Amino acid sequence: MMHLRIVAPFALSERSLQILERSESVCNIVVLPAAACKPPGDVILCDVAREDTSVVIADLRDLGVHREGSIALEAIDTQISDRADRVVHAARGAPSDAVVWEEVEEHTSESATLSFSFLAFMVLAGLIASVGIFLDSPILIVGAMVVGPEFGPIAGFCVAIVQPPRSLALRSFLALAVGFPVAILVVFWAATIFKATGITPEQFGEADHGLAKVIATPDFFAFFVAFCAGAAGMLSLTTAKSGALIGVLISVTTIPAAANVGVAAAYADGSSFRGSLTQLGVNLAAILVAGTLTLMLQRAIYTRRRRRHLREELA
Whether residue 308 lies inside any domain: the answer is: no
Instruction: Specify whether the CB–CB gap between 6 and 71 falls below 8 A.
Output: yes
Whether residue 309 lies inside any domain: the answer is: no
pLDDT of residue 94: 75
pLDDT of residue 40: 94
Distant-in-sequence, close-in-space partners of 8: CB < 8 Å, separation ≥ 6: 16, 17, 41, 42, 43, 44, 65, 69
CA-closest candidate to residue 159, choices 302, 283, 294: 294
Using the predicted structure, report yes or no on whether residue 241 has a pLDDT greater than 90.
no
Same domain, 131 and 278: yes
Same domain, 200 and 274: yes
Which of 39, 70, 97 corresponds to the end of one domain? 97
Same domain, 120 and 239: yes
Mean pLDDT for 198-204 is 84
Cα atoms found within 13 Å of the Cα of residue 150, Cβ hemisphere only = 33
Using the predicted structure, report yes or no on whether residue 243 has a pLDDT greater than 60.
no
Same domain, 81 and 123: no
Cα dist from 257 to 119, 142, 193, 308, whole Å:
17, 12, 20, 46
Number of domains in the chain: 2
Same domain, 75 and 118: no
Same domain, 32 and 70: yes
Mean pLDDT for 300-306 is 88
Distant-in-sequence, close-in-space partners of 59: CB < 8 Å, separation ≥ 6: 19, 23
Same domain, 181 and 221: yes
Same domain, 225 and 254: yes
pLDDT of residue 254: 93
Same domain, 59 and 198: no
Whether residue 314 lies inside any domain: the answer is: no
Which of 39, 63, 97 corresponds to the end of one domain? 97
Same domain, 66 and 114: no
Region class of 198: left (phi > 0), else alpha (psi between -120 and 50), else beta = left
Using the predicted structure, report yes or no on whether residue 274 has a pLDDT greater than 70.
yes
Q: In percent, how much of the chain has pLDDT > 90? A: 55
- Provide the CATH number for the domain around residue 69: 3.30.70
Whether residue 310 lies inside any domain: the answer is: no
pLDDT of residue 167: 82
Using the predicted structure, report yes or no on whether residue 248 has a pLDDT greater than 70.
no
pLDDT of residue 165: 67
Which of 65, 97, 129 corresponds to the end of one domain? 97
Q: For residue 90, give its domain range.
A: 2-97
26 forms beta bridges with: 48
Same domain, 37 and 148: no
Same domain, 116 and 73: no
- Residues 156-165 have pLDDT tens digits of 999 988 886 6
Whether residue 312 lies inside any domain: the answer is: no
